[in-house]
Amino acid sequence: MEPSAPLHERGDDALVEAAGRGDREALRVLVERWGPRVLAFLQRALASSRDAEDLAQETFLRVHRAAPRYRAQGRFPAWLFRIAGNLARQELRRRKVVSLLLGEPSSRPEEIFASLPAPPSFAPESALQAEEMRRALARAMSRLPARQRLAVLLRYYEDMPVADIAAALGTSPHAAESLLARGTRTLRTLLRDLRP
């Protein structure tokens, strides 16, 4: 796409490069284009709408700061979700430390997860089955280790290929496949044990 093309028609890499040169409108288009997906990803990862909103804003603030150093390689989603995933992992670690220090019970993330749709591939036979599956999935997802949870969310909710998941998590494709395999296996076991 030509640099003179309207912003909404430009690719993600061109928008980040424009934002890196100080074009606030280019950043706004990126936020409009990717904001809802980043927010949904963070809601699923953190099981908290308020925390997800805060971290979604922080994600795009970091995109803005890092834009001048961005190297266009056609892998903007992996770069973006790496930023969001790192923020989510930091928040999950912070929660764990606070919970241990204060002796507070951890929040009930399944309540938030239960309000989210099941992965697109799930086709329940009835509304009741769908609700039961959402609740079981919420409980199971909340029990996954952070990196496995992020890998599963990126694969099954964001439909990312393994190479992009690896880039988003800052690991090798082999390690990303391993995280996915372990996360999926653990989810299956938990779902079997948790379903009503």
In CATH, the number for domain 108-196 is 1.10.10.10
Look over the chain and give the mean of its residue pLDDT values, rounded to a whole number: 80
What residue has token string 């795009």? 60
pTM check: above 0.85: no
Taking the C-alpha atoms of residue 52 and residue 3, their distance in angstroms, rounded to an integer, is 33
What residue has token string 């100080």? 22
| pLDDT-based confidence at residue 140 (cuts at 50, 70, 90) | confident
pLDDT higher than 80, residue 132? no
Name the residue with higher pLDDT: 187 or 138.
187
87 contact partners, CB below 8 Å, separation of at least 6: 42, 55, 58, 59, 62
3-state SS, residue 129: helix
Name the residue with higher pLDDT: 129 or 22.
22
Half-sphere exposure of 177 (CA within 13 A, CB side): 4
CATH architecture for segment(s) 1-106: Orthogonal Bundle (1.10)
DSSP state letter for 107: P
For the chain, state the CA radius of gyration.
18
Domain ranges of the chain: 1-106, 108-196
Taking the C-alpha atoms of residue 77 and residue 21, their distance in angstroms, rounded to an integer, is 20
